[in-house]
Amino acid sequence: MVPVAALTGLQKVKYIYNNRLDRVKELKSEGKRIIGYLCSMAPLEILEAAGLVPFRIMGSPQKGTASADVHIETNMCPYVRNCFARGLEGEFGFLDGLLLSHTCDSVLRLYGLWKYHLDAPFTHCVNVPHTISEPTIRFFREEIELFKEKVEQYAGQEISGPALRASIELYNANKALVKELYGLRKEDPPLISGTEMMETLVAGLSIPAREFNQLLREVKDEVITRPPKLTKKPRLLLHGCIMDKTGFVSLIEKCGAKVVMDDTCIGTRTFWNEVATDGDLLDGLIDSYFKKFQCPRTYRGRSLHRFDYLRQYATDYNAQGMISYIMRFCDCHSLDAPDMRDYLRELRLPVLIVEDDYTEGAVQSLRVRIQAFIESVTEISV
Amino acid sequence: MVTSSSEFAKPIRHTDAAKSVNRVLKDWYARSQEARAKGAPSAWVMASTPPEILEAFDIQAVFPENYGAVSASRGQAVHYINIAESEGYSPSICSYCRNTLGYIQERQQLKAEPPDAPLGGMGDPSMLLSVSLCCDIRIKWFQTLATRYLKVPIHIMESLNPPYGLDMTDERIKKHYIDVALAELRSLVAFLEEQTGRKLDERRLKQVIANSLVARRLLYQTYQLRKAVPSPMPSEDAFACVVPYLYMRGTSFAVDFYQKLHEEVKERVEKRIAVIPEERYRILWVGMPPWFNMGIFNYLESLGTVSAIESQYYMGTPIEVDPEKGLQALAEIAWLRSVEQHRQGAEIAPEQSGPSGDVAGLPVSLVESFARDYKVHGIIVHLVQSCRIISFGQAHYKNVLRERLNLPMLSLESDMSDPRLWNDTEIKGHIKLFIDVLGQRKGTTAVKQ
Ligand code: SF4
Ligand code: SF4
């Protein structure tokens, strides 16, 4: 087998994607402390600034949820149950801690059970309000401060202003590079497929931010120099809940479309908001992780204009339709679905909404509906 | 009207207080309709928005959650749920919520109150008030109402609670949570002042808070009396009797109601007036009840078993705060309730306490002490499919209680308002087997293994 160090670009991405624990385990053996996290409403920049390594916890659809089902009811989010099952089975035994934020009901409750069963030296939950107002912003600011102090205590070092700034700049570079790569999807055909993009992001969230930046540069160099694909295909926007495997995107692309843009957790929601560094750094973090963080769990008013960013994505990336992927029992996404559908219909942007339960079989069963949808999009475009 | 075909659809209650609740509900809905007809401010309100504040502003409120239970108990929920699902709302969404969305959809299509609407319907509100306590649904539900159906002003109150494991003795944490609670209460008041054109009457608010503390104390004392053997008041009565507390606890009516309830239960204990003359077994009911089939409790009684206590809608120990502090008192109640929850283990009930001390989900040690103090022989856990938040933790209860208590447990699955998830034959079969198990154990109550 070729050693990973000898790989570059998309080959390296594929390797890391398939062996996502390798690098953090290596770092762990070098004495680094690794903190697992899920969802992104708590600033990882603070962990990084204290010399800790953030690692995004993910599930494994093929392994099922049996070990978690003993502790969590099966009518809760299947993704959360899957991640907890991996935790209970010891897959993340190398973690020195856990950072969750109160994103949705399932994640908040997972926090309690995780701490109860798998407590680690650093376990913390950042509480995130559901509405944006002066008092809730004040509250979130204090949450970030409390989180920072707890990290400092655990890491045994104060996080200085310059260290936090450097960390924010590192993550900003990360986000900027991801955006650049997304920019290449505006081409027709796009220079990088949705599947490759997702593989890259998943791989990147499994290694330190600095290494991810390097990887992104390599991927970019590779995709702009490889011979372009010539066949044009319908261009789709992908919306929805957490997806951390390429199964669904790749199914869409195998069915004959290209995923050119997304509104998903491991996608724009994580990478779209650089943190402003020209003022108070905390203000920057609040903007990026709370005020601007795009997730239906936050109340953004009663108007259908709350979906305007989707129109913007579709326009900027020239998408001809949208597929929305909703995790079963995800209340935030489910309740928004009819409003969102109506909004897109008004724009005459075809939309397909599917529900999934994060099992391998379920994705395949969606093939026929996806094919039919792509055909209908093609007809409309013609 | 779609009626339930279940043999459990019509419950029989035991105490006079519980029997009077249907009338209370009818009067309440009739009052709201009258008020609306006169153009008085009216609201659709999410439960746990402090009823004390609504009362202080004289707002006629109806609660869509309550309407979910009302519609289910009157056999109308399936009709509304079907309408909501045909509009694209997933069957996994809270059935109370689907019930409201179907109801409002029909109402708007007819441009009038649907003829079969239970209790004459919820009517048109002049405002929507929600609160983020305990589940994501509560925000999304009212957001949906405001986006699609009701073009009236909306206010969403934030309810933030300390996650599990936080140091509740830390003064800074206390201030952090009380400050935000107080700010949110103030913002609700500001919204209502704008909507009603009236300033908050502080004196009235203090009186209302004092009433609600008395109501809480009386309810607590009544729950203490329910420890008596034989049981004087079963769960089906308790589920009815929480209505005034949940929705109108600041009123003098609520104080009278709980005064009477307390006296009645006290008398029943003294005179040994039992729910069932020959009480063989007592159970603890965990979870929400099936509102469409409350007669299930009577079925248990026909087998010599009384549901002596339940985990749902427990209002906690009396709280000592000074009502003269007004809004600050409400913020302190919420904090003190959180502290109490944390003391008893908040790992599965992190969203402990609403802005005036309602709780959603009890800590496991409290449920354990219920099992002991109410001398139960077994536990029935009712998992309601569409309310994830109340269901969440039941597996954990079972795991922990199995370790700490030597009691048989039965799990039933259905829903609080969606009768399509209920099967009479299956449920009866499970219950019969369970009672057999209790029999084999010859009436052993909670003991340590
Ligand atoms: S998919 Fe939905 S329910 Fe699951 S973790 Fe994400 S937001 Fe929460
Ligand atoms: S707590 Fe349960 S019943 Fe109440 S709104 Fe939330 S999901 Fe529905």
Q: pLDDT digits over B59-96, tens only? A: 989 999 999 999 999 999 999 999 999 999 999 999 99
Q: From the list B97, B148, B160, which residue is nearest A129 (CB)?
A: B160
How far apart CA A46 and CA A54 sit, in angstroms, is 10
Distances (CA, A) of B264 to B14, B218, B238, B260, B284: 11, 12, 13, 6, 22
Q: How far apart are the CA of B120 and the centre of ligand 2, in A? A: 23
CATH number of B18-162: 3.40.50.11890
When pLDDT is cut at 50, 70 and 90, the band that residue B418 belongs to is very high
Any idea which residue has 């909670």 for tokens?
B446
Average pLDDT over residues A108-130: 95
Q: Which ligand is nearest to the CA of B288?
A: 2
Please check the confidence at residue B448 and state whether its pLDDT lies above 60: no
Q: Which atom of ligand 2 is nearest to B97's Cα?
A: 8
How confident is the model over A189-222, as pLDDT tens digits?
999 999 999 999 999 999 999 999 999 999 999 9
Q: How far apart are the CA of B244 and the centre of ligand 2, in A? A: 19
How confident is the model over B2-24, as pLDDT tens digits?
445 789 998 999 999 999 999 99
Asked if residues A129 and B158 have their Cβ atoms less than 8 Å apart, the reply is: yes
Tell how many helices (H) and how many strands (E) occur in chain B: 17, 8
Nearest CA to ligand 1 atom 8: A104
Write out chain B residues lying below 8 Å of A70, CB-based. 395, 399
Q: Which residues contact A197 (CB under 8 A, 6 or more apart)?
A: A181, A182, A185, A259
> CA torsion angle for B264, B269, B270, B276 (degrees, to 10)?
100
How confident is the model over B329-342, as pLDDT tens digits?
999 999 999 999 99
Average pLDDT over residues A319-348: 96
pLDDT at A381: 61
> Ligand 2 site: residues with CB under 6 angstroms?
B 65, 94, 96-97, 134-135, 137-138, 360, 387, 389-390
Percent of chain B's residues with pLDDT above 70:
97
Looking at the complex, report in whole angstroms how far the Cα of residue A136 sits from the nearest Cα belonging to chain B: 7
Q: Which atom of ligand 2 is nearest to B68's Cα?
A: 3
Helices (H), A19-133: 22-29, 44-49, 66-69, 78-88, 105-118
Mean pLDDT score across all residues of chain B: 93
CA nearest to B363 within chain A: A112
CA nearest to B394 within chain A: A73
DSSP state of A55: E
CA nearest to A338 within chain B: B88
What residue segments make up the domains of chain B, in order of their start? 18-162
Burial A162-197 (b: 16+ CB within 10 A, else e): ebbbebbebbbbbbebbeebbeebeeebbbbbbbbb
Q: Which atom of ligand 1 is nearest to A78's Cα?
A: 4
- Testing ligand 1's pocket by substitution, the residue of A75, A103, A242 carrying the most ligand atoms inside 8 A of its CB is A242
Helices (H), A50-183: 66-69, 78-88, 105-118, 134-155, 161-183
Report the 10 Å Cβ neighbour count for B449: 8
Write out chain B residues lying below 8 Å of A68, CB-based. none
Please check the confidence at residue B1 and state whether its pLDDT lies above 50: no
Q: How far apart are the CA of A104 and the centre of ligand 1, in A? A: 6
User: What residue type is assigned to position B258 of the chain?
Assistant: Y
> What angle do the packed helices A161-183 and A194-204 form, to 10 degrees?
160
- Using CA of residue B400, residue B402, residue B406, residue B407, what is the dihedral sign? positive
The CA-CA-CA angle for residues A324, A329, A334, to 5°, reads: 40
Mean pLDDT score across all residues of chain A: 95
CA nearest to B149 within chain A: A302
Measuring CA to CA, which residue among B25, B67, B60 is closest to residue B39?
Answer: B60
| Long-range residue pairs from A107-110, CB within 8 A, at least 24 positions apart, any chain | A107/A38, A107/A39, A107/A77, A107/A80, A108/B163, A108/B350, A108/B351, A109/A72, A109/A76, A109/B348, A109/B350, A109/B392, A109/B393, A110/A38, A110/A72, A110/A80, A110/A83, A110/A84
Q: From the list A135, A329, A334, which residue is nearest B187 (CB)?
A: A135
pLDDT at B209: 97
Q: Which residues contact B278 (CB under 8 A, 6 or more apart)?
A: B304
Please check the confidence at residue A282 and state whether its pLDDT lies above 50: yes
pLDDT at B354: 72
Across the A:B interface, residue pairs with CB atoms under 8 Å apart total: 156
User: At A138, is the secondary structure helix, strand, or coil?
Assistant: helix
Please check the confidence at residue B319 and state whether its pLDDT lies above 90: no
> What angle do the packed helices A161-183 and A209-225 form, to 10 degrees?
20
pLDDT at B352: 63
Please check the confidence at residue A35 and state whether its pLDDT lies above 70: yes
Q: How far apart are the CA of B425 and the centre of ligand 2, in A? A: 27
How far apart CA A130 and CA A139 sit, in angstroms, is 11
When pLDDT is cut at 50, 70 and 90, the band that residue B362 belongs to is confident
Burial B94-122 (b: 16+ CB within 10 A, else e): bbbbbbbbbbbbbbeeeeebbeebbbebb
How far apart CA A137 and CA A35 sit, in angstroms, is 26
Please check the confidence at residue A230 and state whether its pLDDT lies above 90: no
Helices (H), B93-151: 95-110, 137-144
How far apart CA B367 and CA A109 sit, in angstroms, is 18
Q: Which of residues 159-218 of B touch A (CB under 8 A)?
A: 160-165, 172-173, 176, 179-180, 183-184, 187
Looking at the complex, report in whole angstroms how far the Cα of residue B370 sits from the nearest Cα belonging to chain A: 21
Report the 10 Å Cβ neighbour count for B263: 13
Asked if residues B144 and B170 have their Cβ atoms less than 8 Å apart, the reply is: no
Average pLDDT over residues A295-320: 96
pLDDT at B133: 87
Q: Bigger pLDDT: B316 or B426?
A: B426
How confident is the model over B118-164, as pLDDT tens digits?
999 999 999 999 999 889 999 999 999 999 999 999 999 999 999 99
Write out chain A residues lying below 8 Å of B388, CB-based. 73, 75-76, 105-106, 329, 331
DSSP state of A228: P
- Residue B123 gets the label, from left (phi > 0), alpha (psi -120 to 50) or beta, of left
Element (H, E) at B300: helix B296-302
Contact B348 A113 (CB under 8 A): yes
Q: What are phi and psi of B251, to 5 degrees?
A: -85, 155
Average pLDDT over residues A239-267: 96
Return the structure tokens found at A179. Answer: 């955006």
Residue A82, judged by CB atoms within 10 A of its CB (0-12, 13-18, 19+), counts as buried
Return the structure tokens found at A359. Answer: 């099992």
pLDDT at B443: 66
By the CB < 8 Å criterion, does A121 face chain B?
no
By the CB < 8 Å criterion, does A332 face chain B?
yes
Asked if residues B304 and B276 have their Cβ atoms less than 8 Å apart, the reply is: yes
Contact B347 A76 (CB under 8 A): no
How confident is the model over A130-157, as pLDDT tens digits?
999 999 999 999 999 999 999 999 999 9
Measuring CA to CA, which residue among A202, A6, A218, A104 is closest to residue B351?
Answer: A104
Pairing relationship of beta strands A258-263 and A122-126 according to DSSP bridges = unpaired
Q: How far apart are the CA of A192 and the centre of ligand 2, in A? A: 43
Residue A81, judged by CB atoms within 10 A of its CB (0-12, 13-18, 19+), counts as buried
Nearest CA to ligand 2 atom 8: B94
Write out chain B residues lying below 8 Å of A290, CB-based. none
pLDDT at A3: 75
How far apart CA A3 and CA A87 sit, in angstroms, is 28
Q: Which of residues 339-358 of A touch B (CB under 8 A)?
A: 339, 341, 353, 355
Return the structure tokens found at B49. Answer: 């928005």
- Testing ligand 1's pocket by substitution, the residue of A57, A84, A104 carrying the most ligand atoms inside 8 A of its CB is A104
Contact A135 B179 (CB under 8 A): yes
